[in-house]
Amino acid sequence: MRITEHPVLDFRRGEKVTFFYNGKAVEGYESETVAAALHAAGVRALSHSHELGRPRGIFCAIGNCSSCFMTVDGEPNVRVCVTKVRGGMRVEEQQGRGVIQYEEN
């Protein structure tokens, strides 16, 4: 849930944009990270542990811990806590280590 009233802070969120989480449309703001937008939409599990497949969410939110790896526009292992939302972005929950797509030249 987003904070609308705060005694000290005033949030300037920028343009509202739509992106896709596992194919579903989600609203976010240009100034916020994918992790924040998904959190606001109630999504907590972002990735899964490699061996046991246990769900993982954000832990540090500053790009330190690698607990928030997702596949973004086909690119695996993106730290969504430090990646800004863009309109039309496709964000996917990732199983395991992810697959790197190579472009054929």
Partner 1 sequence: MKKTEILVIGGGPAGLCAANAASSLGAKVLLCERDGVPGGQLVKQTHKFFGSEKQYAGDRGIQIGQMLLEQTQSDPNIEIYTDTTVLGIYEDGIATAEHDGAHLKIDAERIIVATGAAEKFLPFEGNDLPGVYGAGAVQTLMNVSGVRPAQRVLMVGAGNIGLIVSYQLMQAGVEVAAVIEGAPNIGGYLVHASKIRRLGVPILTQHTVLGAYGDGRVQRARIAQVDSSWQPVPGTEQDIECDAVCLAVGLTPLTELCWQAGCEMAYIRELSGHVPIVNEFLETTCSGIYAAGDVSGIEEASSAMVEGRLAGYSAAASLGHAPEKAAALQRAAQEELLELRSGPAGARILAGIAKVAEKGGRR
Contacts of 10 (CB under 8 A, 6+ apart): none
Structure tokens at 71: 């596949």
53 binds ligand FES (CB under 6 A): no
Alpha carbons 60 and 67: distance in angstroms, whole number: 8
- Least separation in angstroms between CB 5 and partner 1: 8
- Residues 81 and 63 sit within 8 Å (Cβ to Cβ): yes
39 binds ligand FES (CB under 6 A): no
In the region spanning residues 18 to 57, those forming contacts with partner 1, defined by CB under 8 A, are 32-33, 36, 39-40, 44-46, 49, 54-57
96 binds ligand FES (CB under 6 A): no
1 binds partner 1 (CB under 8 A): yes
60 binds ligand FES (CB under 6 A): yes
Decide whether 2 or 24 has the Cβ nearer to partner 1.
2
**Which helix or strand (DSSP H or E) is residue 21 part of?**
strand 16-21
